[in-house]
Amino acid sequence: MSIFNIFDDQSHNNSLLGAVFTPLPAAVAVIEKFGLFEKWIAGATMFDPTAGEGNFIEAFVSIAANRGFSMHNLPLERLYGVEMKAVYVERFFQKMRNIYGIAFPTRNFICSDFLLFNENIQADYLIGNPPWLNFTELPDLYKPVVKPMFHRYGLVANAQELLLGSSRIDFSGLIVNKSIYENLKPGGEAIFFLPMSLFLNDGANRGFRAYKVKDVHFATKEIYDYKNQKLFPNVSTRYGLARFERNSLQTFPVPYYQQNEDNEWISLSANPVFAVDNPLSITQNDEEYVTLSMFEKICLPKSAQPRQGVNTCGANEVFVFDTFKKMPNGLAKVTNKFQQGIILPQKYVFPLIATNNFNEKKPKARKWVLLPYSPTGKALEWTDIEAETSLVTYLQKHEMRLKMRKGTMLQGQIKKGYWWAMLGVGPYCFDNHKIVWESFGKKHFHPILLSGNWQGNQAMHAFMPMQTLDLALETLSLLNPSKVQSYLSSLQMEGTCNWAQPGKMKKLITLF
């Protein structure tokens, strides 16, 4: 199957290709804001590498029409677009014919996969809106084609990284890097609508923030964050408009703009704190940035590294309970919405943190979780499970359900025979003391100390395991919640799933 067939296949719908087109008025506004129309008329070449129905190209023609230019003498040979879906290419030519009466040059709007495209277009300006997808969301047949390109264009150190921590790397970063490297003249500029994850998210997009492909540097010159504005209907991705300059070294702060409630652009600054490829921290002024960069990191043993809560991989009805009652002989009776009167060994059932616990002086358990694990953090062996009649009976009852759970990591465990495994369980779960905070969807940082083998609930809670109470009390006294909150707020992830996840908190700690 050729690349084009992969995408012309009906099963790959528009959203899979990230085909959200820029509304014509928004494309016009961008071109006018950066004075690109005048530059085009004066001789500059423009190129949209993933052009869709060609709304950006159309915007140049539409401005010319509105300003009374003759449609027959426009420098159309200096407008270029590449789009991989034939139907969008066809629609572009139709629009040009039907709306503007123009026979747009066929060699300037090309149906091709931009990543495999090697015609030598050299533009003064790149413009567009590359697809907002991450690597895991690409069609499976396409992944092997693009994987080596993330390495070739400087986004990962090796293609293996895409299987590990960088699998959520943004595809748009690849379009930006390839087009700047291959198709932009020295000193040229690129203006793209992009997912803000390229600038603000941890981990996967670190490679993009080197702002470099091989020996070619480029700099982010300004960012307009559309946090409070919806230009693209029905799109939940956080996006912005960024301007880059080729052959320019990245300097900080990057001018950063956000709209207030009155739709005025407010001027802020963006700087990475602690390391140059860290996510950008957004501050009102330099003073605020200096305060953030002087954050005194807490020194902690490696064992205290921040972690996410335990993850049943979708089988909460098997592992999570709403009531717990101690029974004789080390047993417990537990229930949930789906099952009553379950008997399990007490030693494998642990209190599970719930939202209310963060506001209680003496946190009271409201939920419990079954962890069929040894205190070393390893899933129990079948012989250990068989030694507990209640446990073996319970797990066997749910064997089919547990084996059906999805996810590459979990399936790896299941294939090895550990179909009762979960994710996020390690020796750290069994440290008696934990400093815990809500890591998902919040805007305040409010850590609490829980003693007694409490467990965090998936990405909702993050925690630092503490091997002794003394270490826990000392760490809590050193952890300045308002300073941590200032750092987290500067990363612009309030209210999102990325608010205070372990990766962000690790940056505030030195492990020894």
The residues of the shown chain that bind ligand SAM, judged by CB under 6 A, are 17-22, 48, 50-52, 55-56, 82-85, 88, 113-115, 128-129, 131
Q: How far is CA 27 from CA 56, 193, 294, in A?
A: 5, 10, 41
User: Angle at Cα 490 formed by Cα 485 and Cα 495, nearest 5°?
Assistant: 70
CB of 194 or CB of 379, closer to ligand SAM = 194
Cβ 282 to ligand SAM shortest distance, Å: 25
CB of 22 or CB of 281, closer to ligand SAM = 22
CB of 234 or CB of 251, closer to ligand SAM = 234
SS3 (DSSP) at 432: coil
Cβ 10 to ligand SAM shortest distance, Å: 14
Please give the biggest Cα pair distance in the chain.
92
Residue indicated by tokens 């099952």? 339
CB of 128 or CB of 456, closer to ligand SAM = 128
**Residue 386, Cα to own-chain centre: how many angstroms?**
42
CB atoms within 10 A of CB 9: 13
The residues, ordered by sequence, that sit 6+ positions from 316 with a Cβ below 8 Å of its Cβ are none
Helix or strand run (H / E) with residue 342? strand 342-345
CB of 112 or CB of 339, closer to ligand SAM = 112
Q: Which residue is nearest to ligand SAM (CB)?
A: 52
Cβ 54 to ligand SAM shortest distance, Å: 7
Q: What share of the chain is helix, strand, coil (3-state, %, to 5)?
A: 35, 25, 40
Cβ 39 to ligand SAM shortest distance, Å: 19
CB of 37 or CB of 324, closer to ligand SAM = 37
C-alpha–C-alpha distance, residues 247 and 356, integer Å: 53
Strands (E), 367-506: 367-370, 433-438, 448-451, 461-466
CB of 92 or CB of 256, closer to ligand SAM = 92
Cβ 24 to ligand SAM shortest distance, Å: 9
Are 391 and 344 within 8 A, CB to CB?
Answer: yes
Cβ 189 to ligand SAM shortest distance, Å: 16
Cβ 145 to ligand SAM shortest distance, Å: 9
